[in-house]
A and B are shown apart, each in its own frame.
Chain A
Amino acid sequence: MKTIMKSSILFLVSACVTMGCKKISDNFKQPQLPPPDTGTAEQADPQLQISLDASLTQKERDYLKEDLKFTQSLKFKPGSSAYADAAFGQNSGNGILAYLDERIGHILGPETSIDSRFSYTANTASDESKAVTIATNIGMAVWLETIAQRRNISFFTNNSAIAVNDPRIGIIKLGRAYSVFDEASGRPLNTVARTSVLVHEARHSDCTGGLSNADFLNLAAGELPENRSCGHLHTICTSGDYKGLAACDGREWGAYALGWLFAQQLSQNCDSCNEAMKQTALAVSIDSLSRIPQELARQMRNGTLPPPDMSSTAPKL
């Protein structure tokens, strides 16, 4: 019996050599990369999908949890904005929370090296951690890379590898300014300012309108898709304080427009906000409105612009 088993195994091995060993050998040469040790992530809330990466400090986690709680607690005057109703569902704390939860999957700490988190070299600037940023959505950009290169890219978190196969993977990297507003005192940004940035970043996770064949060709050629609502990419501002900078919406209901909707609701209709929160919301609202093309902004203000399309389409490779 032992001899028969032994011979069977050896037979299989020999058969492999003669028939299909090339294939097996090829597979063997390109193994699945084991994910690097990234530490254990934490769910932001049992009700939410948002995952807080191990690279976040305890302070950053606390602020994020505080911001999500604040969002959930928001109460707006009913019927105050048809646009906000369309964008955030119920136009209340829970609606905005659901909007964030659908579009933000993973939050990374400011000191995270992006290169180490993807099965792909980004060659990012080595001193990027010095930048005084609040947050950046890198998920959409990497997803566009998977389309451009027609290859799978994995994102490493929670000691596992996740395929970047949907723009709504929502990988957000916090900047230092998220938790430290004033370097001297270590004072943080207030929760309204922080949450507004999350609302803005979340919109970057939407590929509204999907990608056409022409978009695929553009991406493969290293250019941006014709449908600029896919990712709601920033546009060069044509007027105002930021003229010439890539800091404006180019199409209707982009990331700044959603930020404006949120902040405007807070500044005008928030029953649970104090004066400092309302003042911050007013500043965010004014700043965001100034980054929307004037014609669109006027239509938004007078209610003639169609409500936002909040869908996202993810073509497969």
Chain B
Amino acid sequence: MSQRGGRTLALIIGSAVLGSIATMIFVDSAPEQGQQRQLSRKSDPRVPPKPLWENVPEGIQNRDKPAPQKEVSRTGTRSSQQAVKTAKRVRVNLENPPKASQLRDEVQVDAHGTPLALLEFAEELAQSMAGAFANPDDRYEVSRQLIACARDTDSVGSAQAARALCLANLERLKNKYPDELSASYLSLIAELPDDLVFVAGVRTTTDTEKK
């Protein structure tokens, strides 16, 4: 055997031995990889137990600095019993506007959308208003109901948003039939809380004077 051939053989044997060791290391670690992979996804100790987007608003507070208004991550979804209760909501209509408590219950479950009770109330109002625009008899009855709704005459705790919706619709009717409705509309505006008139987005006498 030549000197060159001997060197090659030594290299091959050496490489083979070291290569086998390397392969054994890789092969031995292989079964653990799947396990590790799963653990790192589901039980990584670096993952905090309460992520920012869970269990809000209790989960996250600015502990160091007192904030004028407490703010929370908005993505947490509260669920369960409360949500199931909301699904069985009370039917609402112009004579039975949604209560503030109904809307609060819904908003506790889902803060993002307009409460379904208010949307249902709006759909009921659409039918009433279509009738009121088309028929004078309906108009009288609907305007009476709208005034009672905006006032919360029976003090049943109607939601401010529902009352404001009634007021906004009364304004729409008044704009179309000013002779019939202006007086009662203006007297209603004068007695309602300023906040309610504001969110209704209606034009007040002050707005008119400014113009």
Contact = CB atoms under 8 A, between A and B. Distances in A.
B189 interface: no
Contact of A3 (B12, B80, B108): B12
B73 interface: yes
B149 interface: no
A204 B12 CA distance: 63
A235 interface: yes
B183 interface: no
Contact of B116 (A137, A177, A239): A177
Contacts of B190: none
Given A138-B53, A190-B123, A287-B118, A132 B12 contact: no
A245 B104 CA distance: 8
Contact of B110 (A10, A125, A134): A134
Contacts of A232: 74
A279 B77 contact: no
Interface stretch (A21-29, A38-46, A63-71, A83-91): A21-29
B56 A246 contact: yes
A241 B103 contact: yes
A223 B73 contact: no
A238 to B, nearest CB: 7
Nearest to A254: B74
Choose among B25, B52, B100 the residue with the greatest number of A CB atoms under 10 Å from its CB: B52
A286 B168 contact: yes
Interface in A107-126: 119-125
A128 B31 CA distance: 35
A141 B114 contact: no
A306 to B, nearest CB: 20
Contact of B114 (A28, A142, A283): A283
A218 B71 CA distance: 14
A13 B110 contact: no
Interface of B: 8, 11-12, 14-16, 18-19, 21-23, 25-26, 29, 32-33, 36-37, 40-44, 46-54, 56-57, 60-64, 69-75, 77-80, 83-84, 86-88, 100, 103-104, 106-116, 118-123, 125-126, 129-130, 159-161, 164-165, 168-169, 195, 198-201
Given A234-B74, A282-B165, 17 more contacts: A11-B11, A13-B18, A13-B22, A14-B22, A17-B22, A29-B33, A123-B51, A130-B83, A132-B87, A149-B47, A234-B71, A240-B160, A241-B160, A245-B108, A247-B111, A279-B129, A289-B201
9 contacts: A123-B49, A125-B79, A131-B109, A197-B112, A224-B73, A242-B104, A285-B201, A286-B201, A287-B118
Closest CB pairs A-B (n = 8): A141-B53, A10-B15, A14-B18, A134-B113, A131-B79, A283-B122, A234-B74, A13-B19
Interface of A: 3, 6-7, 10-11, 13-14, 16-18, 21, 25, 28-31, 33, 119-125, 127-138, 140-142, 144-145, 148-149, 151, 175, 177, 181-183, 189-190, 193, 196-197, 200-201, 204, 218-219, 222-224, 228, 231-236, 238-242, 245-247, 250, 255, 264, 275-276, 278-280, 282-290, 294, 297-298, 301
